[in-house]
Structure 1
C-alpha cells in the first residue's frame, strides 16, 4: 500500500480513536462532582491513554526490551482507564434512563472501539516507518538525486559523481574535490571496480522490463537501519538464487512474503549490491557487514 494512502488511513483511525476517548471523557466528567478539580481528575485516565497510544505509534524503538516495557505500560494504563471509565459510564447511562442490561453493555462498545482503534494505529505506525525507510531518494527535475533524501538526510550519489550545490554556486572542480575528500575519509573500496551487469534473461517478461545495470540509476538506503535491512535482504536473495537473472512482476506476491518488499524494491537491492554501492553505503553509515555478505564475487568479498 502506498505511503500516502497509509498516512491518510492513519488520520481516519486517529479520528475514530479520538471519538471513543471523547465519549469516555464526557461520561467521566458527567459522573464527577460539579467541581473543576473533580472533573479534571475524572477526565485524566482516557486522555492519558490517548497520549500513550500516540507516543508508541509515532516514536520508533530499536531495542526489544524497551519496546516490551512500553507495551506493558500501555496495557496497564489502558486497563486502568477502561475500568474507571466503564463504571463511570454505567452510572451516567443509568442516571439518564437506560434500564436492564443496557447500562452495563453500552460502555463496552466505547471501550471496544478504543481498543480496536489503538491496535490499528500502532500497526499503521509500524508500516509507515517501514515504508519510509524503503522509499527511494527524492530527485530533481533533471532526474539526479536532490540535495536531500526522502528522510531529510543528504542523498548519496553514485561513484565519481559530485553533488550539485545550487545554493552556494561553487565551481564544478571544487565540488569534485570536496567529494573526493569525503570518499577518502570514509575508507571506501577501490573505485575502479565496474558494476556487474545482470545476466541476460532466458525467459524475457515483456510486462516488466528490467533496465540493464549500466543504464539504471543505483539507489541506496539513506539510514543505518534501512541499510541493515538491505544487507539482510541481499543475503537471503543469494541463498534463494536471485543474485542474477530476471525478476518478473509475477514474483510480486512471493517476494513480499519472503522479503517483505515487492519486485521493484528487491531489484533495487540486487542492483545496489552487485554494483558495489551497497557495500560503500554500509561503510559510510557504519553498518557492519556479516561474513556471508558477497556482492560482486566471492573472491572480491574475501579480499575486502
Structure 2
C-alpha cells in the first residue's frame, strides 16, 4: 500500500507519517515530496524543523521549481521584527492566504514539517480545527504531516490521527537500511485497510517495498492476548443445565403473588371478621388535638 500512497493522495486526504526517537520519518516525508514534484504537483512546505537549503539539497534531481518553502525554521515564535512564518499563523485564514499568494492551475499539496512543533505551542483542539477546515476548504488538495508520537500524550496523538485518512507508523527494521511501516487507511465508505510492510529508501528518495502483510478490517487479537475465562478453574459450577434451568423457571418466588392470592387479599369473602369501634361518653377524645392524652 505504501507505493499506492506515494502515487497520490485523494482530494481532501490527510496523511500522517508517525515516527519516534527510534526511527525518523523525515526521509519518508521527503519521498512523498519528491513523488509529488515528479507528478507535477505544486507543493507548499511549512518548515519548522529544517531549513530550505537542507530540503532542496536533499531533493537534488527533483523538479523543485514547483516547491514553495515557508520558512518557520529561522524564527518560529516571531521574536524578530519581520518573521517569515510563525507557529501562531497556523490557522485556516492565514494558510489559505499563504497558499493563494502563488497562482496555481490546480490546488497544491501542503507539507507540514512537523505537526509536533505546532502542537507544542498551539492547543490540540485549535490544531485539529485548522486541519479539518483545510481538508474541506479547497485551498489545498491534500495534507501530509510528520508527527513525533513520543513527544505528546496518547490522547493528543489519537485526536490528530483520528482526522487522518491514512496513518503510516514507521519503526526500525531488522537490517540497517530497512524500516517497518504499519499503515492504516480509511476509505470514504468507512472501510479500514491495514498493511504492514518492510521497506527501504534509496538515495534519490524512491521507496522499495521488500515484503508485505495485509490486514482488512480491525486487527484480530493474538491468541495470547485473548482474555482468559475467570470461571474456568473454579471448584463449583456457575452454569445451569437445561433441567436446572427448567426447574428454576417453574419455581414460585415468595414475593410474587398469584392471581388467586391477590383476589383473596383485596376482596373480603363471606365469614370474614370486622372490628367496629363506637366511642362512648367516657372517651376523652379531642378533635383539635388527637394526641392530647399522650404524655409528650
TM-score (norm 2): 0.23
The structure carrying a bigger strand percent of its residues is: 2
Higher alpha-carbon Rg: 2
